[in-house]
Homo-oligomer: A and B are copies of this chain.
Amino acid sequence: MQNHSRWHELQEILRQENLDGYVITHQADLNFLTDFPQEGFALLVGPEKVWAYLPMLLRDHFIQEVPGCEVVAGADLLGGIKKTVADQGFKRVGFDSERETYALGKKWEELGFTGKAGIVGKLRITKKGEELKRIQKACAVTAKAFRMLKPRIRPGRTERSVSLELEDLMQKMGAEGVAFELIVASGPNSALPHHRSSEKIIKKNEPVVIDFGCTYKLYRSDMTRTLFTGKPNGVFQKIYQIVERSQKEGIRRVRPGVAAGEIDRICRELIAREGYGDKFIHSTGHGVGLDIHEPPRVGPKSEEKLGSGMVITVEPGIYLLGKFGVRIEDTLLVTENGSRILTK
C-alpha cells in the first residue's frame, strides 16, 4: 500500500497547526501510516521527512517493508526521538493526547511537546484507494460467509460451533481472522448486546443474533443479522420489523453533510414511537477501518458531519431482558449522493 500521500496530507495538517513534528505511538495510527502490521515502535513526522524508531527485533523487517523512512534502531525510543528533535531544531512537536498513555504523555510534556488529539484520526476517517478496497473485500467476505452459513444454523448446534464455523468460512475466503470476538446469541442471550458465544444449544423457535466481521489486510468489517429457528411468533415479528424499519430509515438518511447524530436520532425516534425507546440501549453505529470502533461515532451527541469516503455502521436494536433481542447491522460507505451497503 502506498502511504506516502498520507504522509504528505499529515505534513500539510502539521503546517496548518503550526507544528514542526508529530510523534505517533498508537498501533492503528502506525499501521495506517506505514502498512507495517506491528506494534511497539514509533514515528516522528517532520515537515519533510519521517523518522521511525524501532527495537532491533523489528528493524530489518521494517526496512524491507517500509521504504522512505529514516530508521533509528534501539531499545530507547524516547531517547531516539528526543535526539532527532534536538538535532533538527524542532520547536513545536505534538503528540496524541487521547492515544498516548498518561506516563509517556508526561514525558513528552517535559520535553516541551504539546498534546494534540485526533490529527491522524482526521486522515483515517476518510478511506481512500487501497484502504477502501480492503474494507470492501472484508465486507464482501463477511456477507458471503453469512449466506453460506445461514442454512446451517439449526436447532441442536451450540452457539460456539456456529461462531467457529463462521470464522472458518471467512478465513477460507481470505480473511486473516475475526474483526472482534464473534457474537452468536440465542434465546434470552440475544437480549445481551455483547453476549459471548457460549456452549448453549440453539433451540427450536428461538431468535439468534449473530454479530460478526473479519479482518482483511488489517482492515475490518462489521455486520449483524437476527434470525429465528422455526416459524417466527408474533412478538418476534413485530420487534424485528420495527428494528428493520429503523435501520432502513437511518440508512436512507446517510449522505455527506448530514450530522452523524441525525442518523442516530432517526433510528431512535422510530423505535421510541413504537414504545421501545428505553430498550435501544446503545449508539446507532460507529466508524469502521483499522479499528472496529473508530470515528465517526454515530450516537445521540455526534455532531460530526458525514463525508464521502467515510465507512460507518448503522445498527439499531431492541433488547427485552430475559426474553430476546433483535439487532440488524450493516457497514456502509458514504458516497457522493448517499451511501452504499458494503455488507451484501
Contact = CB atoms under 8 A, between A and B. Distances in A.
A282 interface: yes
Given A105-B105, A164-B171, A181-B177, A192 B100 contact: no
Contacts of A103: 97-98, 115, 117
A100 B98 CA distance: 10
Interface in A48-101: 55-61, 64, 95, 97-101
A106 B191 CA distance: 37
**Copies of this chain, count:** 2
Nearest to A109: B102
A38 B196 CA distance: 9
A344 interface: no
A76 to B, nearest CB: 11
Contacts of A37: 181, 196
Contacts of A59: 281
A176 interface: yes
Contacts of A281: 55-57, 59
Given A37-B196, A38-B194, A171-B164, A282 B57 contact: yes
A172 to B, nearest CB: 8
A199 to B, nearest CB: 10
Contacts of A47: none
A98 B196 CA distance: 29
Given A103-B117, A181-B177, A56 B282 contact: yes
A37 B55 CA distance: 32
Contacts of A61: 192-195
A321 interface: yes
Contact of A102 (B102, B176, B178, B196): B102
A55 B297 CA distance: 15
Nearest to A215: B181
A168 interface: yes
Contacts of A58: 193-194
A100 B61 CA distance: 30
A100 B97 contact: no
A55 B117 CA distance: 24
A58 B60 CA distance: 44
A101 B115 CA distance: 11
Given A99-B101, A168-B168, A57 B176 contact: no
Please give me the 9 A-B residue pairs with the lowest Cβ-Cβ distance, nearest first: A102-B105, A56-B281, A57-B282, A61-B192, A97-B103, A100-B102, A98-B103, A97-B102, A102-B102
Interface of A: 37-38, 55-61, 64, 95, 97-106, 115, 117, 164, 167-168, 171, 176-178, 181, 191-196, 281-282, 319, 321
16 contacts: A38-B194, A57-B281, A59-B281, A60-B192, A60-B319, A60-B321, A61-B192, A61-B193, A97-B101, A97-B102, A98-B101, A98-B103, A101-B102, A103-B117, A167-B177, A177-B177
Given A101-B105, A102-B106, 6 more contacts: A38-B194, A59-B281, A61-B195, A100-B102, A164-B171, A177-B178
